[in-house]
């Protein structure tokens, strides 16, 4: 049964605070301007009778906040960073006007999340760019969030985490406010990537890491803007163009030359001296980005292309205990036909004798039971010289 959600989660930021005079009283009707430094867009509001102001919907980015009122010196706070789904408070204390002056605070103050009770972890653009990511999969950084553990696995690599013991299927993934969950999957990956493939856990994301601005993982106490599940809320924001034309090109290479051989890998690839080596593997992730303004201070454009190429063979050798030809020959009916097709006809087990490997005879109790059931005693006497039935690793 598929679930559906028509609403959009909040990706905008909120900024509010008080504007006070030198005596600590509220300053009503003060003009408050929020200037988006990268996009050149300004938003304005004014304080109420209690001196309180609020910008309820600001696009995540860096702002310059200016407060002005007749009779007071204008005050400016620069480098006010707002992250995705962040609620931040910024108060101003105005001083009486002494000529035409403006007080500017240029040092960026530490952002303290005091306006909500959510437990979250912000993965900023700086972290995405500088932390090592195998396959450039930004979702691996989700595991930096407190309280997260491995959930669904692809081989040995977790792809969909579990938060505080909840099921991985209860996590919610949103991209620019729109849900990105695949409700059809009973197992596997539920967010962003629709499903894992035989490319392994390093399959690239539907969203390129280079096109991502930041994302916030809310592990508990998410507000009413979110819904769907009781697990984590992973809220992603893609990059946007700015007034300045900017772009990038990138290429990430990974190959077998720097890989170590799995300890249990005993083939099928060998060097000239017969020693097992790392299977062939080559992976390339490459692309480019370009962003700018269509109309300065009004309309913006950002585009990204990413290519993914992977060439590999099986990266490890699995060990399994299989029946030898003598034991398969004793299996009756359809079971015997199935085992002969699976092991002998496919060449895994030779039609006579044992394949190369560690032979193990059946236990003494199993051998006695087989002889008592009427099977040839020579195959269950513990003597490998006469075609003992058993298993081979």
Q: Which pLDDT does position 193 carry in this prediction?
A: 54
**Is the Cα dihedral 368, 372, 373, 376 positive or negative?**
positive
Please state the rounded mean pLDDT for residues 215-231.
Answer: 79
Can you spell out the DSSP letters for 102-134? EEEE-SPPPP---S---EEEEE-HHHHHHS--G
Q: Which pLDDT does position 191 carry in this prediction?
A: 61
Q: CATH fold of 13-105, please?
A: Immunoglobulin-like (2.60.40)
Q: Which pLDDT does position 300 carry in this prediction?
A: 92
| Confidence band for 101, pLDDT divided at 50, 70 and 90 | low
Q: Strand order in 390-392's β-sheet?
A: 322-323, 390-392, 359-361
Spatial neighbors of 40 by CB under 8 A, at least 6 apart, are: 243, 296, 297
Lowest mean pLDDT among 55-59, 360-364, 383-387: 383-387
Can you spell out the DSSP letters for 205-223? PSS-GGGEEEEEEEEE---
Asked if residues 190 and 168 have their Cβ atoms less than 8 Å apart, the reply is yes
CATH number of 119-238: 2.170.130.10
Pick the more confident residue, 175 or 10: 175
Q: Enumerate the domain spans of the chain.
A: 13-105, 119-238, 246-312, 322-392
Count of Cβ atoms closer than 10 Å to residue 323 Cβ: 19
Pick the more confident residue, 82 or 268: 82
Asked if residues 71 and 96 have their Cβ atoms less than 8 Å apart, the reply is yes
Q: Strand order in 41-46's β-sheet?
A: 41-46, 31-36, 61-68, 74-82, 102-105
| Confidence band for 391, pLDDT divided at 50, 70 and 90 | confident
Tens of pLDDT along 5-23?
444 456 788 999 999 999 9
Same-fold call for 13-105 versus 119-238: no
Q: Which pLDDT does position 295 carry in this prediction?
A: 92
Name the CA radius of gyration of the chain, rounded: 32
| Confidence band for 195, pLDDT divided at 50, 70 and 90 | very low
Task: Report the alpha-carbon distance of residue 257 to residue 278 in Å, rounded.
Answer: 8
């Amino acid at each position: 049964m598929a679930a559906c959600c028509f609403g959009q989660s909040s990706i905008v930021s909120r900024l509010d605070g008080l504007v006070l005079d030198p005596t600590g009283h509220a300053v009503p009707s003060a003009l408050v301007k929020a200037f988006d430094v990268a996009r050149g867009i300004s938003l304005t509001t004014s304080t109420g009778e209690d001196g309180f102001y609020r910008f309820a919907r600001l696009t995540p980015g860096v702002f310059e906040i200016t407060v002005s009122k007749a009779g007071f010196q204008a005050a400016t706070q620069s480098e006010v960073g707002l992250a995705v789904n962040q609620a931040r408070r910024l108060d101003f204390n105005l001083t009486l006007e002494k000529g035409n002056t403006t007080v500017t605070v240029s040092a960026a103050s530490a952002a303290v999340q005091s306006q909500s009770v959510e437990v979250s972890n912000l993965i900023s653009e700086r972290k995405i760019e500088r932390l090592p990511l195998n396959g450039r999969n930004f979702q691996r950084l989700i595991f930096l969030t407190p309280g997260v553990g491995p959930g669904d696995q692809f081989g040995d690599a977790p792809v969909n985490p579990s938060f505080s013991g909840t099921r991985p299927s209860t996590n919610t993934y949103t991209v620019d406010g729109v849900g990105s969950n695949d409700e059809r999957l009973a197992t596997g990956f539920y967010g962003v990537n629709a499903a894992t493939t035989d490319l392994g856990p390093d399959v690239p994301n539907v969203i390129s890491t280079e096109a991502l601005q930041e994302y916030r993982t809310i592990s508990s106490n998410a507000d009413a803007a979110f819904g769907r599940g009781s697990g984590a809320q992973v809220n992603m924001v893609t990059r946007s163009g700015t007034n300045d034309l900017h772009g990038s090109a990138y290429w990430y290479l990974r190959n077998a030359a720097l890989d170590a051989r799995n300890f249990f890998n005993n083939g099928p690839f060998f060097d000239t001296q017969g020693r097992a080596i790392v299977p062939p593997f080559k992976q390339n992730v490459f692309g480019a980005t370009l962003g700018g303004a269509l109309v300065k201070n009004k309309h913006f454009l950002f585009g990204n292309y990413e290519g993914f190429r992977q060439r590999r063979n099986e990266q490890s050798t699995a060990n399994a205990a299989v029946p030898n030809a003598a034991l398969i020959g004793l299996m009756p009916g359809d079971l015997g036909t199935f085992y002969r097709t699976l092991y002998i006809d496919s060449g895994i087990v030779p039609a006579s004798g044992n394949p190369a490997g560690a032979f193990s005879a059946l236990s003494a109790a199993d051998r006695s039971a087989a002889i008592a059931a009427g099977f040839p005693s020579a195959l269950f006497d513990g003597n490998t010289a006469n075609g003992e039935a058993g298993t081979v690793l």
